[in-house]
């Protein structure tokens, strides 16, 4: 059911569920160009539309921060924090459905994690991630012989991308991001309008919808959200490129989910790769999550996902967590 195909010099393993294009043309429709109003030009039914024809809903039209007085719903820089009850997905659905967008979701599966998590990750994502939209799952994998068979729903495709090792660097996150960056630059950025990078040890529990789309999307850490800012495990060594001074910082962001436009993702990855190598020359070994937090400290995310979007069921669930979207699997056995 999964057959190899070659596109340029990249070899994919692709499993796809054929879908009828939304324009009814019988061929592949071109995805809409990502962007934010007022500078939005998109392609709908093979015709370019400007803001005069399709206008993005204002935040006040789909988001109500007053619905959740028990939590932080707006940041100091006026970015929304998405909690259950704060958003009207139907308003956003009307907008995004008209644009025929494509959303990408990437994860990495290596070693024991292929058997432990890959199949349930894809199956749960197929069921709950951006239902009704064109979705491409990108799985970076180190052993294509162990690909599980998963029957995908309409409008869904997944591509298995071989993970190329870097003999000069042992850090697995660096190798993963270096590979992902190459794929993004070469072709992914031309295939999707929005893109998410997620850890594989997660299970989707309910709809993860278009309320999460944005130029730069960060996931609040379920554990550290309920802690004092002074306790956040930021990189505190001043010589590290991931350094955040004591007394500074907004939130602690989880590596589990990171999203935005392809441009935002590649911008972060380039900064991460550069910072990692600079720290390596100084014999500093900061973790990937520290670089992610430094990036969002300097470049504030335009949308934040509450801990409901990535909750660890091993924690005692507080009353603020109303509806879990994704369950984090912290026990990597």
Q: Calculate the alpha carbon distances from 283 to 237, 276, 280, 289 in Å.
A: 12, 10, 5, 18
Residue 220 token pair: 């609040």
Summarize the chain as % helix, strand, coil (round to 5): 30, 25, 45
Q: Is 56 a catalytic residue?
A: no
Contact by Cβ (8 Å): 82, 212: yes
Contact by Cβ (8 Å): 126, 156: yes
10-16 and 303-305: which strand pairing? unpaired
Residue 118, φ and ψ in degrees, nearest 5: -60, -50
Taking CA 4 as the corner, what is the angle to CA 10 and CA 266, rounded to the nearest 5 degrees? 35
The two most distant CA atoms of the chain are separated, in Å, by 57
Q: Where is 7: in which H helix or E strand? A: strand 3-7
- Sequence-ordered strand ranges (E) for 177-243: 194-198, 202-204, 216-220
For residues 125 and 135, give the distance between their C-alpha atoms in angstroms, rounded to a whole number: 10
**Annotated catalytic residue, options 56, 211, 289, 308:** 289
- Sequence-ordered strand ranges (E) for 64-174: 81-82, 102-109, 134-141, 156-162
For residues 125 and 119, give the distance between their C-alpha atoms in angstroms, rounded to a whole number: 10
Residue linked to tokens 């058997």: 115
Q: Which residues are catalytic?
A: 289
């Amino acid at each position: 059911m999964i057959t190899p195909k070659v596109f340029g010099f990249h070899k994919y393993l692709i499993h796809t569920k054929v879908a009828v294009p939304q324009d009814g043309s019988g061929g592949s429709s071109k995805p809409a160009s990502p962007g934010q109003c007022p500078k939005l030009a998109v392609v709908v039914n093979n015709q370019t539309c400007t803001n005069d024809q399709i206008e993005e809903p204002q935040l006040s039209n789909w988001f109500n921060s007053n619905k959740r007085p028990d939590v932080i719903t707006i940041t100091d820089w006026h970015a929304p924090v998405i909690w259950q009850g704060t958003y009207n997905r139907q308003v956003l659905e009307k907008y995004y459905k008209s644009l025929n967008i494509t959303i990408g979701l990437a994860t990495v599966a290596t070693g024991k994690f292929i058997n432990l998590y890959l199949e349930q990750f894809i199956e749960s994502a197929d069921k709950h991630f951006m239902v009704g939209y064109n979705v491409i799952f990108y799985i970076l994998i180190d052993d294509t012989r162990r690909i599980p068979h998963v029957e995908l729903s309409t409008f869904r495709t997944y591509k298995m991308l071989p993970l190329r090792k870097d003999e000069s660097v042992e850090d697995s996150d660096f190798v993963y991001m270096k590979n992902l960056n190459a794929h993004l630059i070469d072709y992914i950025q031309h295939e999707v309008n929005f893109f998410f990078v997620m850890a594989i040890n997660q299970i989707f529990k309910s709809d993860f919808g278009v309320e999460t789309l944005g130029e730069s999307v960060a996931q609040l850490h379920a554990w550290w959200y309920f802690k004092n800012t002074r306790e956040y495990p930021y990189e505190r060594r001043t010589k590290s490129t991931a350094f955040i001074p004591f007394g500074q910082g907004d939130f602690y962001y989880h590596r589990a989910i990171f999203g935005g436009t392809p441009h935002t993702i590649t911008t972060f990855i380039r900064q991460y790769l550069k910072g990692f190598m600079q720290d390596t020359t100084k014999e500093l070994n900061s973790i990937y999550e520290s670089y992610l937090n430094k990036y969002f400290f300097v470049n504030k995310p335009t949308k934040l996902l509450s801990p409901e979007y990535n909750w660890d069921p091993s924690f005692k669930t507080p009353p603020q967590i109303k509806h879990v979207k994704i369950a984090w699997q912290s026990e990597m056995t």
